[in-house]
Amino acid sequence: MNLVLAQTPPEGPPSPLARVMEALRFIWAHRPEELAAMLGIIVLLAFVSRVPVSYNLLNLVARWRTAALTALAFTAVVGLLVVMLAFVNGMHRLTVTSGQPGNVLIMSDGAIDEAFSNLATADVPDIENQAGILRDDENKPLVSRETYLIANMPTPNPPPGRPKRRFLQVRGVDDPARSAIVHGRKLIDGGRWFSDAGVSELPDAGPNDAPAIEVLLGGGIAREMGNDRWPDEAQRGRNPDRLETGDTFMLNNRTWLVVGVFESTGSAYDSEIWAKQSLVGKMFGKENYTTLAARTAGPKEAQTLRDFLVKDYTKSKLAAFVETKYFENLSETNTQFLIASIFVTVFTAIGGIFGVMNTMFAAISQRTKDIGVLRLLGFKRWQILVSFLLESLVLALVGGLLGCAAGSLFDGAEANSVVSSSQGGGKFVVLKITVDLAVLSSGMLLALMMGFLGGLVPSLSAMRLTALDALR
Amino acid sequence: MTFLRLIVDNIWRNPLRTILTSLGTMVMVLVVVMVLSILTFLSQTTTDKARNIKGIVTERWQLPSMMPLAYATSLKEGGPHEPGDIRIQPKDAMSWSFYGGSTDPDPKNRTMNTILFAFAQEPHTLLDMMDELDQLKGEDKAEFAKVVEKLAQNKKGLIVGKERLKMLGRQVGDTLKVYSFNYKEIDLEFDIVGTYPIPRYDLNASMRIDYLEDALDRWSREHKGQPHAMADKSLNLVWLRMNDRDTFNKVSQQILTNPEFSSPSVKLETASSAIGNFLEAYRDLIWGAKWLLAPAILFTLSLVIANSISISVRERRMEFAVLKVLGFRPWQILLMVLGEALLVGGLSGFVSAGGTYLFVNQALGGLQFRIGFFGAFLIADQAWWWGLAMGAGTAFAGSIGPAWSARTVRVADVFAKIA
């Protein structure tokens, strides 16, 4: 997960702020390594301290209530951080995996998002035949012609307190099979592409009923819309967890028939429904294409095509984005949530640090005689410091591990959110909360930092005790 | 009184521990107060009212809502088309068109510091209908009324939120040219006549709707009578204020059944419902903040206090034994320990919440955390007693166990150990 931070200027030496941001990015990107280093240092300290670690462990056991309360505080703070970072991680993965590296999204000039784009139909054939765009076996350009719009759909059975409408992301496409190739999507077994007409008659339709609009659902929205059903209806349905091939729903006074469900890829496209462009464009008053998604050979070729269309293509003014960069730009909300998570965690951790300090100060005040004896036995001041610091770190380690375990329970859970850019574009998405090594490392690093900072001042005070003062 | 003095003296027996506990309480209460303020505001905006209801008319099936400007006149009256239909008064209606653009003509140079989104509206609606601006009183209202008057006098006038002004690098009195991205070739010059007085609109701007309408007409004249592509899509929202639910239902029915509004068809929903739809995308975040984040922080806080009090009780076993010998009853000892925790927790929570309220609202002008179209959040007025309740509540929860343990100290056991 990368922070979307200030960019260094293209020319000239980097400013101090840019250097700081670069350092932060480096630290952020290497959390597992930092955790390994910190654990290594702790083990090393345990060896060089010479004060038996068993002394500290037995004292923790003797004061098990206080130790348990302190460790639980660590558990709560670390668990919270893990869940928040896992959410942000899920958003980040979604924006990173949503795009194909060889795709270029072509929109009208000035459009920052598909929702605001309006391509002139007359321009489309010429754009599709530009050099660099791959062709299929029939020598047709691998370009998906699309109209992206957001429909306002009444939800049939909203639970109390929940909105009665949902914003449904609809993508009108001409050729679903071609579009699926361009976007790297596959149907779950049992589904099919919608027909050329994009409609079909339902078996129980009356003579005056309009035919049902055929639609393909992303995995995420299929589950979301599946929850619209009453529980017994869902149980009786083809699939209790989601809408399935053959299910129907109502939108804009028409019946829509699900003819296929895409495999979930963890991308923003999982939250969309696809239907025939000529039908949905007319139905919702957006008859022009908003987007052409063109497949090239790879990332370099995509960048070349993008640059050509933006700078050198003269027949019309266009906006073009390499698809991976387009979705990376939708990370403003990621950054916002990450900053909020860090803010909440830092303040909560500060509170936890004060709790640890309390524990350690109390422990030291009750063991001044122990400290005096240790000094008389020849243990040096720094060894006393390390000994008490290790005690604090053991508490942190135990609490941190429990917190990571608690936070990991949320791994794989689905959540709704919005990904948006700083310039106003955005998409509603269903993401998977993702706990990975980096997130767990963050949790453990936080725990160890809290243990270190909370134990440092009391340990320093223990270190400063002379043998005589301690035994007096 | 003696009891209270005893409690206060006991708190300062170990000032370091008391201060650390107090600081831990303050820091965590600060975070929870901020989170609760945001959640409370969002909850208030999405709660349906029974009276003085604001409704929003939008396109029925699509987002963004884009209706013909021709709908505006009838919609602002509530869409009456039958005898006996309700007619909404002008002071209870407001139309919005969204005009967006950049101060840099090159789309490639577009950044947050060049972008501007403005509500195109009638000036009087700023004071009559805009949320929270219509609740202004006293000097704030008088000051903003002057700004609105300047907008009414100047067709090219623009009111810009403070945060947006900063991002654009402009101030009141400057001129601004905006190159539109949703109204192609309709680039407009503005005179910045003032700002909004509240942080809710810090990222927004307001311009005159007739300025946009004139520009659309001018474009059409310059293009041989051809209407601009947005001419039939320039009305985005119509706000209506109705006295009660019955009126809302009647007006809703009027609008739904009015044949004028068939292509595109429109709907009326309460403002709270419309906002709720937008916030639905954030529902899991809001759920997490309400049921995971805030409880986890309060749990941690109660652990910190529990830890502190249990250490204190363990160190004072002899003192409790002596108090019992002196005639103090167990329940008095229980109350004493609870009292210490409640005093530290309650006072710390109160001070923290109050300090947060003053600092965030006065110094920072609100929490700058964008959710949907909400730019900044103020700390709720109830924060003062939230802090007290949270501090005292977590202190009680954390100290009841140690206090009970203090109550059950046995004199014989304590003095036997000493002997």
Which chain A residue lies closest to B369 (C-alpha atoms)?
A336
Q: Is residue B143 part of a domain?
A: yes
B363 falls within a domain: yes
A74 and A150, same domain (yes or no): no
Q: A88 and A214 share a domain?
A: no
Show residues of chain A in contact with B115, CB under 8 Å.
423-424
Tell me the residue range of the domain where A400 lies.
38-97+332-471
10-residue mean pLDDT series, chain A (472 residues): 37 76 83 89 83 84 86 91 90 84 91 84 92 92 94 81 82 95 92 93 83 94 86 80 91 92 88 95 89 95 94 90 87 78 88 86 84 86 88 92 94 83 69 90 93 90 78 68
CA neighbours closer than 13 Å in the CB half-sphere of residue B218: 11
For B299, the domain range is 2-45+282-418
Domain assignment present for residue A33? The answer is: no
Same domain? For A203 and A256 the reply is: yes
- If residue A430 lies in a helix (H) or strand (E), which one and from where to where? strand A426-432
Domain tally, chain B: 2
What are the chain A neighbours of B301 within 8 Å (beta carbons)? 351
Residues B75 and B40 in one domain: no
Q: Are A206 and A263 found together in one domain?
A: yes
Q: Do A66 and B311 form a contact (C-beta atoms < 8 A)?
A: yes
- Which one of A295, A319, A346 terminates a domain? A295
Residue with the larger pLDDT of the pair A55 and B119: B119
Helix (H, G, I), strand (E, B) or coil at B168: helix
Distance from CA of A469 to the nearest CA of B (A): 19
Contact check, Cβ <8 Å, B307/A351: no
pLDDT of residue A300: 95
In a domain, A428, yes or no: yes
Check if A348 contacts B (Cβ < 8 Å): yes
SS3 per residue for A368-404: HHHHHHHHHCCCCHHHHHHHHHHHHHHHHHHHHHHHH
- Whether residue B277 lies inside any domain: the answer is no
**A28 within a domain of the structure (yes/no):** no
Q: Which two tokens stand for residue A250?
A: 């109502």
**Per-residue pLDDT, A2:** 38
Same domain for B110 and B84: yes
pLDDT score recorded for residue B417: 67
Residues B28 and B71 in one domain: no
Among candidates B320, B386, B279, which has minimal Cα distance to B35?
B386
What is the pLDDT at residue B391?
A: 93
Q: Are residues A59 and A163 in the same domain?
A: no
Q: B197 and B252 share a domain?
A: yes
Please check whether residues B257 and B291 belong to one and the same domain: no
Q: Do A417 and B284 touch (CB under 8 A)?
A: yes
Please check whether residue B50 lies inside any domain of the structure. no
Cα angle, residue A179 at apex, residues A138 and A418 outer, rounded to 5°? 165
Work out the average pLDDT over B143-167. 95
Q: Does B35 touch chain A (CB under 8 A)?
A: yes
Looking at the structure, tell me whether residues A263 and A336 fall in a common domain: no
Using the Cβ of A344 and the Cβ atoms of chain B, whether some distance falls under 8 Å is answered with yes
Q: Is A355 on the interface with B (CB under 8 A)?
A: yes
Q: Do B17 and A416 touch (CB under 8 A)?
A: no
CB contact set of A167 (below 8 Å; sequence gap of 6+): A150, A151, A152, A153, A428, B63, B277, B278, B280, B281
* B387 and B256 fall within a common domain: no
**Looking at the structure, do residues B255 and B290 belong to the same domain, yes or no?**
no
pLDDT above 70 coverage of chain B, percent? 98
Inside any domain, residue A12: no
Name which residue leads in pLDDT, B413 or A194: A194
Distance CA A334, CA A341 (A): 10
Contact predicate A401/A82, CB 8 Å: no
CA-based nearest distance A245→chain B, Å: 24
Predicted confidence band at B10 (pLDDT cuts at 50, 70, 90)? confident
Cβ distance of A110 and B297 shorter than 8 Å: no
Contact B117 A66 (CB under 8 A): no
Helices (H), A286-415: 299-307, 323-328, 332-366, 368-376, 381-408
Report pLDDT for A112.
75
Domain boundary among B229, B264, B299: B264
The answer to whether residues B240 and B125 touch, using CB atoms and an 8 Å cutoff, is no
What is residue B5's predicted lDDT score, i.e. its pLDDT?
85
Interface probe for A, chosen from B36, B237, B280 (most Cβ of A below 10 Å), is B280
pTM for the whole thing? 0.82
Contact B62 A415 (CB under 8 A): no
Q: Are residues A279 and A265 in the same domain?
A: yes
Q: What is the pLDDT of residue A9?
A: 41
Confidence bin at B178 (pLDDT 50/70/90): very high
Are β-strands A426-432 and A291-295 bridged in parallel, bridged antiparallel, or unpaired? unpaired
User: Who among B111, B229, B370 is closest to A336 (CB)?
Assistant: B370
Number of domains, chain A:
2
pLDDT at A296: 96
Minimal Cα–Cα distance from B34 to chain A, Å? 10
Residues in chain B closer than 8 A to A366 (CB atoms)? 315
Note whether B364 contacts A: Cβ–Cβ < 8 A.
no
Instruction: Round to whole Å and give the CA distance between B212 and B228.
Output: 12
Q: How much is the pLDDT for A357?
A: 87
How do beta strands B62-63 and B367-371 pair?
Answer: unpaired
Please check whether residues A342 and A459 belong to one and the same domain. yes
Q: Is residue B389 part of a domain?
A: yes
pLDDT at B315: 84
Last residue within a domain, chosen from A238, A273, A295? A295
Query: In this structure, is residue A27 part of a structural domain?
Result: no
Helix (H) or strand (E) holding B375: strand B374-377
Give yes or no: residues B12 and B150 share one domain.
no
Q: Are residues A219 and A188 in the same domain?
A: yes
Q: Does B391 touch chain A (CB under 8 A)?
A: no
Position B4 scores a pLDDT of: 81
Q: Give the residue, B325 or B211, on which the prediction is more confident.
A: B211
pLDDT at B347: 93
Q: Is residue A319 situated within a structural domain? A: no
With an 8 Å Cβ cutoff, are A351 and B110 in contact?
no
Residue contact A418–B25, C-beta within 8 A = no
Do B345 and B225 have their domain in common?
Answer: no
Does residue A358 share a domain with residue A244?
A: no
Verify that A128 and A43 share a domain, yes or no.
no
B50-100: pLDDT as tens digits: 778 899 999 988 888 889 999 999 999 999 998 889 999 888 999 999 999
The answer as to whether B99 is a domain residue is: yes
At residue B16, does pLDDT exceed 90? Answer: no
Same domain, A254 and A359: no
Does A455 touch chain B if contact means CB atoms closer than 8 Å?
no
Chain B touched by A160 (CB under 8 Å) = no
Chain B residues within an 8 Å CB radius of A110: 107, 181, 184
Which of A375-384, B330-339, B376-385, B408-417 bottoms out in mean pLDDT, i.e. has the lowest? B408-417
Bridge-partner residues for A199, per DSSP? A213
Residue A15 lies in a domain: no
pLDDT at A10: 45
| A321: in domain | no
Q: Is B297 on the interface with A (CB under 8 A)?
A: yes
Give me the residues of B, 201-240, that contact A with CB < 8 A: 229, 233
Instruction: Specify if B355 maps to a domain.
Output: yes
**Which residue, B11, B48, B53, B23, is CA-closest to B273?**
B48
Instruction: Compute the average pLDDT of residues B409-419.
Output: 75
Q: Are residues B153 and B124 part of one domain?
A: yes
> Are residue B287 and residue B407 in the same domain, yes or no?
yes
Instruction: Determine how many CB atoms are found less than 10 A away from the CB of residue A112.
Output: 23
| Residue B242 covered by a domain | yes
- Reduced 3-state DSSP string for chain A: CCCCCCCCCCCCCCCHHHHHHHHHHHHHHCHHHHHHHHHHHHHHHHHHHCCCHHHHHHHHHHCHHHHHHHHHHHHHHHHHHHHHHHHHHHHHHHHHHCCCCCEEEEEECCCCCHHHCCCCHHHHHHHHCCCCCCECCCCCECEEEEEEEEEEEECCCCCCCCCCEEEEEEEEECCHHHHHHHHCCCECCCCCCCCCCCEECCCCCCCCCCCEEEEEECHHHHHHHHCCCCHHHHHHCCCCCCCCCCCEEEECCEEEEEEEEECCCCCHHHHEEEEEHHHHHHHCCCCCCCEEEEECCCHHHHHHHHHHHHHHCCCCCEEEEEHHHHHHHHHHHHHHHHHHHHHHHHHHHHHHHHHHHHHHHHHHHHCHHHHHHHHHCCCCHHHHHHHHHHHHHHHHHHHHHHHHHHHHCCCCCEEEEEEECCCCCEEEEEEECCCCHHHHHHHHHHHHHHHHHHHHHHHHHHHCCCHHHHHC
Phi and psi for A435 in degrees, rounded to 5? Answer: -95, 120
Determine the distance in angstroms separating the CA of A340 from the nearest CA of chain B, rounded to an integer. 8
Boundary (domain end) residue, out of B264, B293, B310: B264
Q: Three-class SS of residue A87?
A: helix
Instruction: State the pLDDT confidence band at B408, using cuts at 50, 70 and 90.
Output: confident
Residues B74 and B151 in one domain: yes
Which chain A residue's Cα is nearest to B281? A417
ipTM at complex level = 0.81
CA distance A398 to chain B (A): 16
